[in-house]
């Protein structure tokens, strides 16, 4: 497994692989890797000849009062996990490598990025889109792998790649969960035992909304109201949103929609968590 920091060195190496006819898969991460990331690497390993994992805590996707400085950085453990999973190349640049002095170009995504996470984190998706376009340009993947836990992010990146005619496929992979049902996240390590118990209300409310939708006992709007009410009753949890949207566009649901997604975000203590579940209706 090689580890490189300079974009130019990564570009040269990947270009050699592509010239030799090898398919390149990229797993973009911010480090603090867990089993969810490992599952993305395994998927890339099955489908590609060369697996590249980027580790970069991207400052442009954090707001001024968000947790950039607090975000966990565990490079040593991350490298052990990646060796175990058969990663070929780790791209771990510095902020200066990615945003040299004088950098002033940003990718501004379309309306898909303006609500839900975009409404609660202004500028977040411009930072995500910018760093992803840079990673795609540097690493030149045929496929890029994202976890469905960040559902809106994956759709935004897919749309940016399509709109900018980038020659790659964005692959969204299933959310991985702990045994208690909480979606795996690098931020889960900030939760105390008591806070984790509170946080479990998020996946429970989503599962209950999915159940009543599948049963036909509630419309998307009614399931949305029930989910919001359930979260509002949980002491120690501050909901940001609970929405049922059309799965492919994140537009509000119409009565004819059969593919929907339930998306929710909430704060528990100082930790902000997001989760979602796609539902296919009869």
Q: Which long-range contacts (CB under 8 A, 24 or more apart) does 83-86 make?
A: 83/1, 84/38, 85/38, 85/41, 85/42, 85/45, 86/41, 86/45, 86/51
Q: Which residues contact 257 (CB under 8 A, 6 or more apart)?
A: 220, 246, 247, 281
Cα separation, 150 vs 263, whole angstroms:
10
| Choice among 34, 37, 142, 162 that is catalytic | 37
Cα separation, 246 vs 220, whole angstroms:
10
| Residue found by looking up tokens 């009614």 in the block | 222
- Is residue 241 within 8 A of residue 206, CB to CB? The reply is no
> Does the annotation count 163 as an active-site position?
no
Two tokens, residue 172 = 């969204």
Cα separation, 135 vs 225, whole angstroms:
39
Which residues carry out catalysis? 37
């Amino acid at each position: 497994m090689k580890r490189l920091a300079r974009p130019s060195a990564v570009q040269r190496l990947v270009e050699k692989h592509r010239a030799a006819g090898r398919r390149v898969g990229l797993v973009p991460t911010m480090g603090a890797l867990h089993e969810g990331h490992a599952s993305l690497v395994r998927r890339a390993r099955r489908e590609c000849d060369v697996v590249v994992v980027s580790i970069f805590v991207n400052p442009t996707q954090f707001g001024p009062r968000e947790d950039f400085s607090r975000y966990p950085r565990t490079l040593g453990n991350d490298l052990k996990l990646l060796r175990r999973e058969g990663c070929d190349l780790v791209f771990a640049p510095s902020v200066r490598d990615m945003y040299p002095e004088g950098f002033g170009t940003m990718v501004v995504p379309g309306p898909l990025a303006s609500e839900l996470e975009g409404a609660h984190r202004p500028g977040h998706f411009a930072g995500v889109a910018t760093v992803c376009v840079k990673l795609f340009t540097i690493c030149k993947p045929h496929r890029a792998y994202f976890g469905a836990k960040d559902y809106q992010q994956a759709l935004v990146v897919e749309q940016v790649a399509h709109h900018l005619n980038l020659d790659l496929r964005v692959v969204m992979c299933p959310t991985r969960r702990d045994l208690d049902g909480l979606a795996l996240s690098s931020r889960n390590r900030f939760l105390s035992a008591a806070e984790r118990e509170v946080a479990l209300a998020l996946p429970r409310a989503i599962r209950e909304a999915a159940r009543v939708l599948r049963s036909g006992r509630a419309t998307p709007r009614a399931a949305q109201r029930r989910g919001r009410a359930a979260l509002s009753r949980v002491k120690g949890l501050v909901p940001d949103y609970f929405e049922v949207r059309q799965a492919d566009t994140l537009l509000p649901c119409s009565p004819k929609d059969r593919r929907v997604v339930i998306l929710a975000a909430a704060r528990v203590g100082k930790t902000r968590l997001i989760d979602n579940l796609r539902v296919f209706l009869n």
